[in-house]
């Protein structure tokens, strides 16, 4: 190996290790995003995390920010998903493309955000764990 290659490899090693660490902290939500999230989850109680959820035909995914999605199954059940990484265009309305295998959304499923007007990919990320928020029984 050439000396300059060795030096550049040694300089990059800490960055690569930091990228693999489990200390990822998602970007903070803006005041508007926080308000929207609170409104969507108001009156609901969080449950135990799960890594997969069934894809429902009448449900929808809503981007709260570039790193937080809500998966609405019904008026009584909403899942929050904190993405692994950040899909840069979601907060400005870019389209979300999800690559799934089977009938469920699962942690690690790959997402891409794209601007349909320009055809440009604006971000890549993955689904995190799903946290269910349920309305309490009456």
Side-chain half-sphere CA neighbours of 64 within 13 A: 28
Helix (H, G, I), strand (E, B) or coil at 55: coil
Residue 50: other Cβ atoms inside 10 A:
13
Sheet with 130-134, side-by-side order of all strands = 45-46, 130-134, 77-82, 68-72, 60-63
Per the rule left: phi > 0, alpha: psi between -120 and 50, beta: everything else, 133 is beta
In a domain, 33, yes or no: no
In a domain, 18, yes or no: no
8 pLDDT higher than 50: no
**Count of the separate structural domains present in the chain:** 1
In a domain, 5, yes or no: no
In a domain, 58, yes or no: yes
Stretch 107-114: mean pLDDT:
94
pLDDT digits (tens, 9 = 90+) for 40-93: 999 999 999 999 999 887 678 899 999 999 999 998 999 999 999 888 888 888
Helix (H, G, I), strand (E, B) or coil at 86: strand
pLDDT digits (tens, 9 = 90+) for 20-38: 555 556 568 888 888 899 9
What pTM, to 2 d.p., does this model score?
A: 0.76
């Amino acid at each position: 190996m050439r000396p300059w290659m060795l030096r550049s490899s040694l300089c990059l090693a800490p960055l690569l290790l930091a990228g693999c660490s489990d200390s990822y902290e998602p970007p903070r939500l803006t005041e508007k995003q926080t308000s929207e999230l609170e409104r969507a989850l108001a009156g609901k109680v969080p449950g135990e995390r799960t890594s997969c959820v069934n894809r429902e035909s009448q449900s929808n995914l809503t981007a709260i920010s570039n790193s937080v999605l809500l998966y609405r199954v019904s008026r009584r059940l909403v899942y929050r998903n904190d993405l692994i990484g950040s899909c840069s265009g979601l907060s400005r309305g870019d389209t979300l493309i999800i690559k799934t295998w089977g009938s469920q959304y699962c942690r690690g499923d790959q997402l891409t955000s794209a601007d349909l007007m320009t055809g440009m990919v604006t971000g890549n990320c993955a689904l995190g764990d799903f946290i269910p928020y349920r309305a309490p029984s009456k």
